[in-house]
Amino acid sequence: MKNILFSTLALFFFTASLQAQSGGILWVGSRSNNTAANAVHATIQTAYEAFLSGNDEKGWAVYSDDAAEIGPDGSITFGKKAMRESWDGFMKIADEAPKFTYTNVQVRLLTSDVALAVWDSEADIKIGGQQMGGKTKGSAVLRKVNNTWKLEFDTVTPVMSMPGAEATGSN
């Protein structure tokens, strides 16, 4: 029995170490010593701050031409051109420029040129006098192209209360 337990634990730790090594670093926050992870954080920050300040051109420059996104309504938009048209259409129906926050950005490098990012976000949107938005979880896939990180895919998922979720410890 002792050998089975030891073998099982050894196999678990070996597998975990291989997974961590093959995927690069595990999830890291913005205070990482990892240069690549910090570059991904800076890309997310550049995009958010550009859109928040109304500098849409700088925000869109972070996206690849073939990027895609899934909006909070579940619609899928393919290509930066279509994403821009969708954003411009949204801005025409909004009563004012939406206000967004983003915090707790976490990055995981899958390879030296592909990364995942997740973050907490909150949106304050008014359309036709009606308050919309709320808390969301954002996520993105980024790819390093010519030494520059580009957003290839992003999405926001509205946060909804689920009965019993507190018991699972999920965030």
Average pLDDT across the chain, whole number: 82
Q: Which domain holds residue 33?
A: 23-160
Neighbours of 132 (CB within 10 A): 13
Is the pLDDT at 143 greater than 80? The verdict is: yes
DSSP labels, 29-60:
-TT-S-HHHHHHHHHHHHHHHHHHHT-HHHHH
Q: What's the average model confidence in pLDDT over 136-151?
A: 95
Q: What's the average model confidence in pLDDT over 94-99?
A: 88
Residue 159 near residue 140, CB atoms below 8 Å? no
Residue 5 DSSP code: H
Count of domains for the chain: 1
pLDDT at 106: 92
Longest dimension (CA), the chain: 68
Q: Answer whether residue 3 is part of any domain.
A: no
Q: What's the average model confidence in pLDDT over 52-65?
A: 94
Q: Answer whether residue 18 is part of any domain.
A: no
Q: Which residues pair with 135 in a beta bridge?
A: 122
* pLDDT tens digit sequence for 76-85: 999 999 999 9
Q: Answer whether residue 62 is part of any domain.
A: yes
Q: What's the average model confidence in pLDDT over 90-94?
A: 89
Is the pLDDT at 6 greater than 70? The verdict is: no
Q: Answer whether residue 17 is part of any domain.
A: no
Is the pLDDT at 122 greater than 80? The verdict is: yes
Residue 45 near residue 117, CB atoms below 8 Å? no
Q: Answer whether residue 120 is part of any domain.
A: yes
